[in-house]
Amino acid sequence: MTGGAGFIGSNFARHILGSHPEDSVVNLDKLTYAGNLENLRDLEKDPRYRFVRGDICDRVVVREAMEGVDAVVHCAAETHVDRSNAGAGEFLTTNVSGTFTLLEAARERKIQRFVAVGTDEVYGSIAKGAARELDPLNPSNPYSASKAAADLLARAYWTTHRLPVVVTRSSNNFGPYQYPEKVIPLFITNALEDTPLPLYGDGKNVRDWLYVLDNCAAIDVVLRKGKDGEIYNIGGGNEVENVVLTRQVLHLLGKPESLITSVKDRPGHDRRYALDSGKVAALGWKPAHSFGAALEATVAWYRDHEAWWKPIKSGAFRAYYEKQYSSR
Ligand code: NAD
Ligand code: TDX
């Protein structure tokens, strides 16, 4: 797998090693600001787990890491929309060129299954209904445009080269080990620090929330049972307005709503995402966690893991965050 030191990747590595005793995992990760070996401490001693530090754009490293591998689960990416709005270069390099490098190596190594982990953002904002897999793509920001490029390139390697690719497109994930620039961990940790929660625009944008462990289970199902060349939407079925979510977080922590601060909207801010997940459901997957219980568990995890997020928030993240809000 790639990107295993990030949020979804580390949860996925733990899921695979925990639920498939016959499997082993090679984790190729560059350790960007978002990659953190603390996310994987409990796996380090497992003889079925191996970490390789490297860039998915590096052909030699990628080729070596794929030696003896049956399947690739490609999670590595630049992932934060606000950062892509501030500068898209790394997004194109990692998300597009990096995916290309992996696809080429997978062809050469005759990999039996390549899972390209993608996002609902490729469909763009949807006023009504729910996106289906063959709907047109309409990405709004440089992040989602780079992910759409990666997703299409991966499918082209099936159509043209018969590389056995499957693509997942999931909705917004939340849960343990999510970098605290994303809205849920940012708002939980700000609330714990009694600092303002910056809500963009009118706060009425809607996201469909998916607990990360449910996404890991779905990726696992697609990895084993998905059909070559197919795309699978993975939605949580939990559409929530940002302002409602924010109030829920504050309520769970017993913090006042006066911490909510309206800030200037994100440029190109998609109003609503929604997915039809019927196809992955037909493979036998459905979310195992309710939104309310998963949000409560997530709030509790951050409350109990200050030692994980405090160093992140006081380090390089602080400079990013201050720059971000000085312009809003
Ligand atoms: P993340 O930002 O938490 O982690 C990304 C990981 O990729 C980090 O460990 C980082 O070090 C690594 N990485 C970045 N560039 C690299 C490079 N050039 N070479 C090797 N490693 C590199 O991301 P995440 O939220 O866990 O997302 C994982 C995947 O899921 C991404 O492809 C993302 O687009 C997709 N996705 C995320 C969400 C979500 O809500 N988080 C939703 C849908 C899809
Ligand atoms: O400070 C904030 N205030 C705020 O109101 C932040 C960081 C976000 N928001 C809003 C913007 C969005 O409507 O909250 C919502 C969620 O924002 P993010 O956490 O930045 O996620 P989003 O932009 O929806 O993208 C996420 O889901 C799809 C991931 O970051 C992507 O990697 C994934 O593909």
Question: Alpha carbon of 87 to those of 79, 150, 265: distances in Å?
Answer: 12, 18, 17
**What pLDDT, in 10s, does the model give residues 12-22?**
999 999 999 99
The whole-number pLDDT of residue 318 equals: 81
Ligand 2 nearest-atom number relative to CA 273: 24
Coil, helix or strand at residue 208? strand
Mean pLDDT of 239-245: 98
Joined together, the tokens standing for residue 239 give 């559409």
Segments making up each domain of the chain, as ranges? 7-178+209-240+271-294
Q: How many helices (H) and strands (E) does the chain have?
A: 13, 11
Measured CA angle at 173 (ends 166, 275), to 5 deg? 60
Mean pLDDT of 172-185: 98
Percentage of the chain with pLDDT > 90? 96
What's the CA gap between 34 and 266, in Å, rounded? 21
Q: Is the CB of 100 under 6 A from ligand 2?
A: no
Measured CA angle at 82 (ends 9, 123), to 5 deg? 70
Phi-psi map region of 194: left, alpha, beta (phi>0 left; psi -120 to 50 alpha) = left
The whole-number pLDDT of residue 327 equals: 64
Could you please state the CATH topology (level 3) that the domain comprising 7-178+209-240+271-294 is classified under: Rossmann fold (3.40.50)
How many C-alpha atoms does 306 have within 13 Å on its Cβ side?
A: 5
**What pLDDT, in 10s, does the model give residues 191-201?**
999 999 999 99
Q: Report CA(302)–ligand 2 centroid distance (Å).
A: 18
Based on the residue annotation, tell me whether 273 is a catalytic residue of this protein. no
What's the CA gap between 269 and 291, in Å, rounded? 24
Asked whether the predicted pLDDT for residue 136 surpasses 80, the reply is yes
How many Cβ atoms are within 10 Å of 254's Cβ, its own excluded? 7
Q: For residue 53, give the nearest of 114, 4, 93 by alpha carbon.
A: 4
Per the residue annotation, which of 123, 143, 177, 179 is the catalytic one? Answer: 143
Asked whether the predicted pLDDT for residue 28 surpasses 80, the reply is yes
What's the CA gap between 300 and 207, in Å, rounded? 22
**What pLDDT, in 10s, does the model give residues 47-82?**
999 999 999 999 999 999 999 999 999 999 999 999
Please, which pLDDT band fits residue 328 given cuts at 50, 70 and 90? low
Based on the residue annotation, tell me whether 181 is a catalytic residue of this protein. no
Among 78, 81, 140, 219, name the best residue to mutate to test ligand 2's pocket (greatest count of ligand atoms within 8 A of Cβ): 81
| Nearest residue by C-alpha to atom 13 in ligand 2 | 205
**Can you list the positions of beta strands (E) in 145-259?**
165-170, 172-174, 197-200, 206-211, 231-234, 239-241
**117, 146 in Cβ contact below 8 A?**
no
**What pLDDT, in 10s, does the model give residues 195-218?**
999 999 999 999 999 999 999 999
The whole-number pLDDT of residue 323 equals: 79
Phi-psi map region of 26: left, alpha, beta (phi>0 left; psi -120 to 50 alpha) = beta
**46, 219 in Cβ contact below 8 A?**
no
The whole-number pLDDT of residue 52 equals: 98
Q: What is the DSSP letter of 98?
A: I
